[in-house]
Amino acid sequence: MSLAVQIRQPGGAEELHLVDVAVGEPGPGEIRIRHHAIGLNFIDVYHRTGLYPLNLPATIGMEAAGVVEAVGEGVTHLKVGDRAAYASQPPGAYCEARVMPAKCVCKLPDAISFETGAAMMLKGLTAQYLLKKTLPVEGLQPGDHVLFHAAAGGVGLIACQWAKVLGLQLIATAGTDAKCQLALANGAAHAINYATEDFAARVKEITAGQGVKVVYDSVGKDTWDKSLECLRPFGLMASFGNASGPVAPFAPGSLGAKGSLYVTRQTLFSHIATRESTQAMADDLFAVVASGRVKIHIDQRYPLAEVQQAHRDLEARKTTGSTILTL
């Protein structure tokens, strides 16, 4: 048996229920893992509210680290006793132990703790594919400006540091002055408080009227229109989330008028569709974290039983960096 957090119907944080569930044996291609720490992500909120619908009842959660307890037929990259971490479909990480597909589970290097593993897999692999694979037509070179919204959050703080490693001039946005300071302390070249400042005007100022090559936008509804104004001709609008609500339908013609812009809506799960691509991206993430050039900030910890409060704080924009659920 395992404690697990389930939703029976979409709704607020009060819909997160702690229940006992049976944990079976892994089938072909599966493992059973016992978690030591679980990562909290904004996608968990979308699953809970029904913005991303699930078959219910469901255990939610997409990210965790722990020890492999049993291995199903055909799994060759993991063995019983391995320390491991993952960002993975299907949801189900909010629990003590689970059976799950092995494909996206990676061995965790000894230098990386369970807590750090749980705090960085989904967010770090996202920062990896955004900065290294979600590129404008002419690519990104050291010195280029990019705009990254919600830069003091989980994905954001990793992206600030990794962008600096890549030599990019990352312009951060965040909702308070303290969060702006945090983004700057983590490698952002500039920071804009988008609650009090016109971020499009400030981006134009910082880039001497040129605009940025890429906008990485996970805020969605509230930032979409102004984000398009921040791009230079042929720039890339990389939408990857909807913390403020989904982006409204828009007219493709408007992209021409703003300088033949490109728009993409990215999701991590296309990038980690195979064992090989998952491992290659994870190796890149493990290397940059083990080198100390990207630090994983675990700014909040909640016992699994206090998951409702964790969700309330994330949605109320009270958190910074990564948040984990402890066991």
- Residue in 6, 41, 59, 186 binding ligand NAP, rule: CB under 6 A: 41
122 binds ligand NAP (CB under 6 A): yes
Residue 315: partners with Cβ closer than 8 Å, 6 or more residues away: 13, 45
3-class DSSP state of 43 = helix
**Sheet strands side by side (includes 231-239):** 190-193, 169-174, 145-148, 212-217, 231-239, 262-265
Whether 325 contacts 298, CB under 8 Å: no
Whether 206 contacts 188, CB under 8 Å: no
- Residue in 241, 288, 296, 327 binding ligand NAP, rule: CB under 6 A: 241
93 binds ligand NAP (CB under 6 A): no
- Considering only residues 153 through 192, tell me which ones interact with ligand NAP, judged by CB under 6 A: 153-156, 174-175, 179
- Residue in 284, 299, 306, 315 binding ligand NAP, rule: CB under 6 A: 315
**Listed ranges 88-96, 199-207, 260-268, 291-299: which one lies at the site for ligand NAP (CB under 6 A):** 260-268
307 binds ligand NAP (CB under 6 A): no
**Listed ranges 41-49, 75-83, 204-212, 253-261: which one lies at the site for ligand NAP (CB under 6 A):** 41-49
218 binds ligand NAP (CB under 6 A): yes
Other C-beta atoms lying within 10 Å of the C-beta of residue 208: 8
- Residue in 123, 226, 297, 311 binding ligand NAP, rule: CB under 6 A: 123
Whether 212 contacts 145, CB under 8 Å: yes
Q: What is the DSSP letter of 242?
A: -
Closest to ligand NAP by CB, 43 or 85? 43
Kindly state the helix (H) or strand (E) to which residue 45 belongs, with its residue range: helix 42-49
Whether 211 contacts 143, CB under 8 Å: no
Whether 203 contacts 230, CB under 8 Å: yes
By beta-carbon distance, which residue lies closest to ligand NAP? 153
CA distance 260 to 253: 9
219 binds ligand NAP (CB under 6 A): yes
Closest CA to 120 of 326, 302, 285, 273: 285
Residues near ligand NAP (CB under 6 A), total: 29
- Residue in 128, 161, 169, 266 binding ligand NAP, rule: CB under 6 A: 266
**Listed ranges 21-29, 120-128, 224-232, 301-309: which one lies at the site for ligand NAP (CB under 6 A):** 120-128
Tell the smallest beta-carbon distance from residue 55 to ligand NAP (Å).
20
**Listed ranges 76-84, 105-113, 151-159, 290-298: which one lies at the site for ligand NAP (CB under 6 A):** 151-159
**Listed ranges 69-77, 100-108, 241-249, 294-302: which one lies at the site for ligand NAP (CB under 6 A):** 241-249
Whether 81 contacts 67, CB under 8 Å: yes
CA distance 19 to 293: 40
Pairing, β 145-148 against β 169-174: parallel
Phi/psi at 92 (5° precision): 150, 15
126 binds ligand NAP (CB under 6 A): yes
Instruction: Give the footprint of ligand NAP on this chain (CB under 6 A).
Output: 41-43, 122-123, 126, 150, 152-156, 174-175, 179, 218-219, 222, 240-241, 243-244, 266-268, 314-315, 317, 319
